[in-house]
Structure 1
Amino acid sequence: MMQMWRWMAGTLALAVPGAADAQQLRPDQTAFRALYQELVETDTSITTGSCTALADKVAVRLKAAGYADDQITSFAAPDHPKEGGLVVVLPGSSATAKPMLLLGHIDVVAAKREDWTRDPYKMVEENGYFYGSGTQDMKAMDAIWIDSMIRFKQSGYRPKRTIKLALTCGEETSTAFNGAQWLAKNKPDLIAAEFALNEGGGGRSDGNGKLVIANMHVGEKAAVNYRIEATNPGGHSSAPVRDNAIYELADALVKLRAYDFPVQLSDTTRAYFRIAGKARGDAMGQAMVAIAADPADKTAEATLNGDKSYHSMLRTTCVATLLDGGHANNALPQRAAANVNCRIFPGVSAAQVRETIATVIDDPRMTVKQTDDRGPAAVPPPLDPKIIKPAETLLAKYYPGVPLAPTMSTGATDGIYLGAIGIPVYGPPGVYGDPDGNGTHGLNERASVKAVYTGRDYLYDLVRAYAG
């Protein structure tokens, strides 16, 4: 009878709204999909959403699974009531084994419905992908972490080391209340751990559903913003002159667009290009192996620059992201400025990058000022065999023959705040992406259905392997 019920539940999963072309799901996968859908369909953008609302929904699920009130800590700043988060703790059996921490940001980049093909805050499953804001970054992993904590509690699992989960807001917006930063500063004992697992890893497919390389995120760039500004006396628009703040700013940005920072390699990126390049075996793979052997190989560099992610992994990058200028339709602009967002390679200072931008622009009429940064410089964690080996062992089970390569994130994660208080942070393999980036931070963001379900099983087993 139980077997018949399970068969029926799996068959009924085909009728889940939005899952018309889904494969038959197990009952536990159906429950997971509902959780994932709730996360995606709860708007957590800084403009129209609420992380606190989603954290409250997760807390309800955790309590229903059996977590006591004193094992769940909800938090929010009084002046940022919609940007809250939570921490849940599953106690371990050992008094000596240090805890491990699962970290996930639940906020998403703001999405405009009129620009998307589908409603960004509705999870739609089509052609082997889940579509929706946050499906890839990073609500799939959030759902896996929450689902794992629920399954651990419901099954009576007692890990050797305590497992903690922190769900936070503010990772996607520099002006928001950052929950990971707040916890590191105000509640370090609550999240204290020997190590943490976070986003940034995963892997890369061939674009047709086949995983080519799995990644362990080990280190990241620093995110820093600069303001380039041109000023001018202005005047009446009926008598234009060449000395125009908007034109000067445009000229400066064209120069910056044409500039590439020099190639740099770290131990992590050198290993990545060597291992991932060998796995590919094509012209791009040959260039990856060549650059790992000789960073001065210009032919290899030119090939790798044709891939936007590899181009970024090789150097510091700076790009214009915001513009403002002028004050009236019929007046010459007195001011024009651009925000330039830089992702700085480890070991390079923000001051050095500011000087480089000023040198590239080469215009004394312009000012270049650092406006902010995301916090402390990232502390690259060690390539610890206790972290790497279990991930490799499970990878061989789920994806035989696929190599694991350490990788440096070209973006930035909340791991920097944990590293600053002595918690090394790793991004494990699991939910991999396609070469085009899956629309992350852009239009029609999507996550591979296969990657999500297999990643769920993989990461559940990996957490158990680490926890003992």
Structure 2
Amino acid sequence: MRTTLLAAAGFLAVAACSTTSAPGAASTASTDPRAGEAEFRELYKELIETNTTLSVGSCTLASERMKARLVAAGYPESDLHILVNPKPNRPQDGNLVAILPGSNPAKKPILLMAHIDVVEAKREDWVRDPFKLTEEEGFFFARGASDDKAMAAIFTDSMVRFKREGYKPERTIKMMLNCGEESGDEFIGAKYMVENHLDLISAEFALNEGAGGRIDPDTGKYVYNGVQAGEKLYQDFHLEVTNPGGHSSRPVPDNAIYRLGQALAKVEAIQFPIEFNDATRGFFRRMGQITPGQEGQDMRDAADGENATAIRRLMLNPGYNALFKTTCVATQLNAGHAPNALPQRATANVNCRIFPGRTPTEIKQQLEIAINDAQVKVTLNGQAEAPSPPPNLTPEILGPIEKISEQLFPGVPVIPAMATGATDGRFTTPAGIPTYGVSGIFADPNTSGVHGLNERVGVKQLYDGRVFLHLLVKEYAGGK
């Protein structure tokens, strides 16, 4: 693995030797994948320092700033679109779509996706200001440094460079920067675009967040480069028990809190069936080849023969457990109206991550069967999302990823995966745009701080991902 990193570093160092031309000079702009790092850093900094939280931020402002860079690179207004939340009280929820026309209309476009909104962050909780880009000890620190302004900045930077260097792709390249991926049901930009502007973003396939490279935190070695094909369906269920209540000095057997507690214990005991798809089987098979000892053997046995004993051992790891099946877990409780009164109402939220191919209605029925109590009402929170089978990892998709990965990170395997969380791909894939998560940005997920405190991404890893995605998009788009 040391040889791998040195070889990759050598390739990237050679790329770094080139220089960029002045903005707008398409005929002389450098085509070296490492060119323009300083300008990229400024773009990344501007995006990071544009607050895009739901509470006080503005995705529209971020979209306008990225659009300005594209205009400066030579894009006409007709190829740039800012589409804003139609709700009159949310003009700050803006999405940006940019289009670089291809030369071959017979080839369908490729869509580059990233969300530009971020999770809330309080200055008093962070070591550094979360809305100022800070570089320390080989890392960039900021809210959104990784999730997902890294990919948003990389894609915007590539679109700028494509135009400046005079690149003429065969496929049309589209970029969509979304708002609302982190803000629940308030406004989901990808959903809005699919429902209202599908023609504008239609593509043969899309590249998105959802998978990255894994780095060994002790050695710094690159372990594998991940590619996501499919993700679990997110669904919250509302459990509710009501009764007349009364004075707490006169307790009765039918207590709403106890009844709800019993229902939740039954939910905890549900054993959803073990399932596989191409992504999860591929994950365990390829991970088994690079994982030593019993764990590696269990991975290979699970993938090749669905060995029950091996699977049980692997399921002791929460991350692996989530890949095998649907999971449902209680996440919120609310009960009672006074400390000296019997509760009249008790509610709980049960969050389920549903294995691809299963429906929320099907899982609701399983919850009701397990609880087996007519006084516990189970309802879906919000509108159920449309389930979709995971997109196929065809040679046409996987081949270019493996090619560029080997070119930059020799000997580091490409490993397919299924996201157990949720991305905007849950809207685009069912809409007919198969969406794959791949970034080439290597990280240790246990220390990246995504959605938590002191979010960070390695400086070298971010720049490596920039090269990887730039070359990958060109590989898919063709042309010269």
TM-score for both structures, normalised by structure 1: 0.88
Offset at residue 386 of structure 1 (A): 1.3
Question: What is the 5 A alignment of 1:164-203?
Answer: 164-203=174-213
1:60 aligns with 2:68: yes
Match of 2:44 among 17, 29, 36: 36
Offset at residue 128 of structure 1 (A): 3.1
1:76 aligns with 2:84: yes
Query: Residue 462 of structure 1 aligns to a residue in which SS?
Result: helix
Query: Residue 143 of structure 1 aligns to a residue in which SS?
Result: helix
Offset at residue 260 of structure 1 (A): 4.2
Offset at residue 255 of structure 1 (A): 4.2
Match of 1:85 among 85, 88, 95: 95
Offset at residue 107 of structure 1 (A): 1.4
Match of 2:398 among 385, 388, 397: 388
Q: In angstroms, what is the RMSD of aligned CA positions?
A: 2.4
User: What amino acid maps onto 1:30 in structure 2?
Assistant: A
Query: Residue 329 of structure 2 aligns to a residue in which SS?
Result: strand
Distance 1:386 1:409, change over 3 A: same
User: What amino acid maps onto 2:130 in structure 1?
Assistant: P
How many angstroms apart in 1 are the aligned matches of 2:58 and 2:336? 34
Query: Residue 71 of structure 2 aligns to a residue in which SS?
Result: helix
User: What amino acid maps onto 1:245 in structure 2?
Assistant: A
Q: Is the 8 A contact 2:285 2:303 kept in 1?
A: yes
How many angstroms apart in 2 are the aligned matches of 1:124 and 1:53? 21
Question: Per-residue CA shift, 1:124-165, capped at 9, x if unaligned?
Answer: 333333222222221111111111111111222221211110
Q: Which runs of 5+ in 2 are unaligned?
A: 1-15, 21-33
Question: What is the 5 A alignment of 1:313-332?
Answer: 313-332=323-342
Question: Per-residue CA shift, 1:377-433, capped at 9, x if unaligned?
Answer: 134222221111111011111111111122111112222322233222112241233
- 1:128 alignment partner in structure 2: 138
Distance 1:157 1:424, change over 3 A: same
How many angstroms apart in 2 are the aligned matches of 1:116 and 1:247? 39
Query: Residue 443 of structure 2 aligns to a residue in which SS?
Result: coil
Distance 1:324 1:53, change over 3 A: farther
Deviates more, 1:414-423 or 1:255-264: 255-264
Match of 2:349 among 314, 321, 339: 339
User: What amino acid maps onto 1:268 in structure 2?
Assistant: A
- 1:430 alignment partner in structure 2: 440
User: What amino acid maps onto 1:460 in structure 2?
Assistant: H
Question: What is the 5 A alignment of 1:104-115?
Answer: 104-115=114-125
Distance 1:345 1:139, change over 3 A: same
How many angstroms apart in 2 are the aligned matches of 1:178 and 1:56? 19
Question: Per-residue CA shift, 1:185-204, capped at 9, x if unaligned?
Answer: 22222112121111112232
How many angstroms apart in 2 are the aligned matches of 1:201 and 1:314? 18
- 1:439 alignment partner in structure 2: 449
Distance 1:312 1:463, change over 3 A: same
Match of 2:255 among 241, 244, 257: 244
Query: Residue 146 of structure 1 aligns to a residue in which SS?
Result: helix
Question: Per-residue CA shift, 1:306-328, capped at 9, x if unaligned?
Answer: 33221111111112233333223
- 1:225 alignment partner in structure 2: 236
- 1:450 alignment partner in structure 2: 460
Q: Percent identity?
A: 48
User: What amino acid maps onto 2:41 in structure 1?
Assistant: R
Match of 1:279 among 277, 290, 294: 290
Offset at residue 168 of structure 1 (A): 1.0
Match of 1:213 among 211, 215, 224: 224
Following TM superposition, the consecutive aligned residue runs of length 4 or more in structure 1 with deviations greater than 6 angstroms are: none
Distance 1:47 1:221, change over 3 A: same
How many angstroms apart in 1 are the aligned matches of 2:261 and 2:50? 39
Question: Per-residue CA shift, 1:253-287, capped at 9, x if unaligned?
Answer: 34434544232111221111001121222433222
- 1:262 alignment partner in structure 2: 273
Distance 1:441 1:71, change over 3 A: same
Aligned residues: 446
- 1:158 alignment partner in structure 2: 168
User: What amino acid maps onto 1:388 in structure 2?
Assistant: L
Distance 1:54 1:435, change over 3 A: closer
Match of 1:46 among 50, 54, 57: 54
Q: Which runs of 5+ in 1 are unaligned?
A: 1-5, 11-25
Offset at residue 448 of structure 1 (A): 2.6
Distance 1:261 1:294, change over 3 A: same
Query: Residue 82 of structure 1 aligns to a residue in which SS?
Result: coil
